[in-house]
Structure 1
Amino acid sequence: MDFEIRKDRRGGGGRRLTREREVYLQLMRQGYSSREACRIVGINLRTGKRWRNGHHSPTYGKPKPPITVEASASGPSRYLREEDRIYIADRLRERASVRQIAAELGRSPSTISREIRRNGMPLRGDASRWAYRPHAAHRRAEQRRPRPKAGKIGQNPELRGFIQHHLTLRWSPEQICQALRTAFPDRPEMHVVHETIYQALYVQGRGELRRELTRALRSGRAMRRPHRQSYKRQPRNIRDMVMISERPAEAADRAVPGHWEGDLIIGKEGKSAIATLVERSTRYVLLAPLPEDHSAASTQDALIEAVTSLPPHLKRSLTWDQGSEMATHKAFTLATDIPVYFCDPASPWQRGSNENTNGLLRQYFPKGTDLSRHSREHLAAVAAELNSRPRKTLGWETPAERLAKLLATAS
């Protein structure tokens, strides 16, 4: 490069070292490192950094922005550069196809197609004719890139109100997204994906959804936490257990209703409990209180009372883990004619519907609380609320709707 370091570079005001700035930024665009460009131009490395990035906390005066928008260095880049857009315009003028241009630039055809569609413009005076102007396209792309931007939820009060209302009803973000598409099929501005809702809740500074609404999520957490490996559990000594491997095949494919999964959720200090039953085909929930203890005898009586009102075709089997509360499983089978099958040790996925439901129930009955204070009527209300929620696995029908269809068919 034909450039000489000036011996006298004194100047006044903001015009100091103007030529050096231009040459430094040009060298950076050509792929030189910052250190090498500073050496060629004859400036301090810290000066070059301030020219590129701005000076956010100067000793005197206001923060200073970058001298110019730094162009991408040569080599692979996530974003299209101005030279890429010039190349696209030249090849379009030569009537090359989108796929040809994409192959020549090493990009996906969808990237080129989206660029032309988003940044092309109709010709002045003739809207039927259309052109792609690379420099104007680059300016528009650069103007769209700065962050942060107001999110879709923050821009739409109606959408924000709908989401907040259903979060207070303890609906999951995915259920809310499907409800939006059902309620507003012809309004794409009211459609979001569940990750958008999670971002509005978790990402600080966006202010799109109230922070306290994170307590309505099933986890109740205000930030994400990676999954951890569950602790292994020791097998229990329960006499005459029939393992899940001997369960009828019709229970595994969920095609035939009447096969249930069960477990307990335990209250404060392990004293009180609630027995939970989930029908595998419809995900219908039954709850049985255990206010005093969760011994085998108490659990047996509570489960018998819970399933007594079920019709015979909904009493086919019950799958439980190897908890000592099912030690009297043979007496339960004699009283209800429902055989009990036990999961393998440390295998909660073998009764996944019940595990999922217990997670939902913890929103109503948090860990470490006294479960004996919840009456049978309150448990019935909680079960009714869960059974009226749309479920993705049911094609967004509710468990109550699915069970009603089965009962109507059987009758």
Structure 2
Amino acid sequence: MWARNPTISDDQLDLIHSLLRRGEKRALIAERAGVCTRTVYRIQVRLGGVPRPAAAEYDSRYLSEDERREIARLHDLGWSVRGIARHLRRAPSTISRELLRNRDPKSGHYLPHRAHTQAWIRQRRPKCSKIAANPRLRAWVRYLLKQRLSPEQIAGRLRVLFPDDESMRISHETIYQSLFVYPRGELTRELKAELRSGRTTRRPRGQRGPRTRGIKDAVSIHERPDEVEGRLIPGHHEGDLIKGSLASNSAVGTIVERHSGFVTLIHLPDGWAADKVAAAVSAEMSQLPKWFAKTLTWDRGSEMARHKDITAATGIDVYFADPYSPQQRPSNENTNGLLREYMPKGTDLSVHTHDDLQAIAKQLNDRPRKRLGFYTPAEVFAKLLADNQTAGVATAP
């Protein structure tokens, strides 16, 4: 337990924790609790940005806060230790130790809230975490963090890499605590910068707003084949542009295959006019096997005004999401967020060469995904390719 400012009362600390759990802003919390915003910030940081849930308790064999309140009430009424024990269905020794151990040293009275806090502190006794006790595991976690994998991806990937080694198991929550929660910090501070969010504390994600425009002869997403929805059949893609600074008029096309998560990046060095986009998309998608390039779902941006040219050149059917519905292209939206690590908003994207984009796409395709059982899109695509080649040989005359 961290040492707090002695001028903050238990009631103030409880109020601060309660408001942090509700997601209130620090300025409002400071005003209501009667402290400065810096104090609230220090408390939030030491909790790693994630306060203890209000209902969190240890195992039921330990006394709960409600039981401690009942002990205090009955003790003040003059009940005996055995009488309180029978009422709570606890051992008399449990009640006796509780009253002796958790009396207030100044007043001598049993105070349930203070008793519960002290019990929580004792149960959080310092102990070595799994990362601190296992140098090999710690080295792998550090390595994968530097590869820009999220803690959840690291936890899942370690199961794939070491399927028979129980010592290489770790939860993503343990990794987060080792990064953020005082006084652990087994993973050094600079590794926080390797997280995709780049944040020093944990907090809920924001949401990106979509940009949509009308487009002629657009075929609605609702006319797509039913097989697209389940992600079970490969060959169905989602696409969009990420745009650079206004002065540069630059953009990069992003296409993601729904089944495998395989990413294809489109080089657009001369802008994102409809004819240029159609030509670039056609050139990249023509390199994919026919069974892996069946449909493409895009938003309603004007860059896809020549979508019929893409269909004519590649045989891919192009569909368009509803206006203001980025959730209809979830794989692509997620990928665009990841790409902003490499190509930040407001920058000139024309500086990225075709080879640069291929290198970025390779990194994304080598990143394990939870929904793929922590295999990578590249591994899934390679397996699909091998299976289709085998099937082709088997059916050949």
User: Does TM, normalized by the shorter one, top 0.5?
Assistant: yes
Equivalent of 1:236 in 198, 213, 225: 213
Matched, 1:388 2:366: yes
Q: How many equivalent residue pairs?
A: 301
TM-score between the two structures when normalised by the length of structure 2: 0.65
Match of residue 76 from structure 1: 67
Q: How does 1:106-125 map to 2 (within 5 A)?
A: none
Matched, 1:163 2:141: yes
Unaligned stretches of 5+ residues in structure 2: 1-62, 76-80, 102-118, 390-397
C-alpha contact (below 8 Å) 2:234/2:292 kept by paired residues: yes
C-alpha contact (below 8 Å) 1:218/1:359 kept by paired residues: no
SS in structure 2 of the partner of residue 260 of structure 1 = strand
Of 189-198 and 160-169, more deviation after overlay is shown by: 189-198
Cα drift, residue 340 of structure 1:
0.9
Match of residue 25 from structure 2: none
Given the superposition, is the C-alpha separation of residues 104 and 163 from structure 1 closer, same or farther in structure 2, using an over 3 Å criterion?
A: same
Q: How does 1:229-268 map to 2 (within 5 A)?
A: 230-231=208-209, 233=211, 235-268=212-245
Cα drift, residue 239 of structure 1:
0.4
Given the superposition, is the C-alpha separation of residues 77 and 377 from structure 1 closer, same or farther in structure 2, using an over 3 Å criterion?
A: farther
Aligned AA (2:379): E
Percent identity among equivalent residues? 50
- Cα deviations by residue, 1:209-259 (Å, 9 ceiling, x for unpaired): 2223233222222223334455465x4121001110011111111222111
Unaligned stretches of 5+ residues in structure 1: 1-71, 92-100, 106-111, 113-131
Matches of 1:325 and 1:143, distance apart in 2 = 59
Given the superposition, is the C-alpha separation of residues 288 and 194 from structure 1 closer, same or farther in structure 2, using an over 3 Å criterion?
A: same
Of 196-205 and 320-329, more deviation after overlay is shown by: 196-205
Given the superposition, is the C-alpha separation of residues 184 and 353 from structure 1 closer, same or farther in structure 2, using an over 3 Å criterion?
A: same
Q: How does 1:9-408 map to 2 (within 5 A)?
A: 75-77=66-68, 104=89, 144-146=122-124, 151-185=129-163, 188-203=166-181, 205-228=183-206, 230-231=208-209, 233=211, 235-269=212-246, 271-408=249-386
Which protein is bigger by CA-based radius of gyration?
1
- Cα deviations by residue, 1:252-271 (Å, 9 ceiling, x for unpaired): 11222111111112223362
**Aligned-pair RMSD on alpha carbons?**
3.7
Aligned AA (1:256): I
Given the superposition, is the C-alpha separation of residues 263 and 77 from structure 1 closer, same or farther in structure 2, using an over 3 Å criterion?
A: farther
Matches of 2:168 and 2:258, distance apart in 1 = 33
TM-score between the two structures when normalised by the length of structure 1: 0.63
Matches of 2:219 and 2:337, distance apart in 1 = 26
Cα drift, residue 393 of structure 1:
0.9
Aligned AA (1:241): A
Match of residue 49 from structure 1: none
C-alpha contact (below 8 Å) 2:214/2:301 kept by paired residues: no
SS in structure 1 of the partner of residue 329 of structure 2 = helix
- Cα deviations by residue, 1:5-38 (Å, 9 ceiling, x for unpaired): xxxxxxxxxxxxxxxxxxxxxxxxxxxxxxxxxx
C-alpha contact (below 8 Å) 1:218/1:362 kept by paired residues: no
SS in structure 2 of the partner of residue 268 of structure 1 = coil
Aligned AA (1:213): L
Cα drift, residue 345 of structure 1:
1.4
C-alpha contact (below 8 Å) 1:261/1:353 kept by paired residues: yes
Matches of 1:74 and 1:398, distance apart in 2 = 46
Matches of 2:64 and 2:168, distance apart in 1 = 39
Matches of 2:161 and 2:351, distance apart in 1 = 38
Given the superposition, is the C-alpha separation of residues 146 and 268 from structure 1 closer, same or farther in structure 2, using an over 3 Å criterion?
A: same
Aligned AA (1:262): G
C-alpha contact (below 8 Å) 2:156/2:373 kept by paired residues: no
Cα drift, residue 159 of structure 1:
2.5
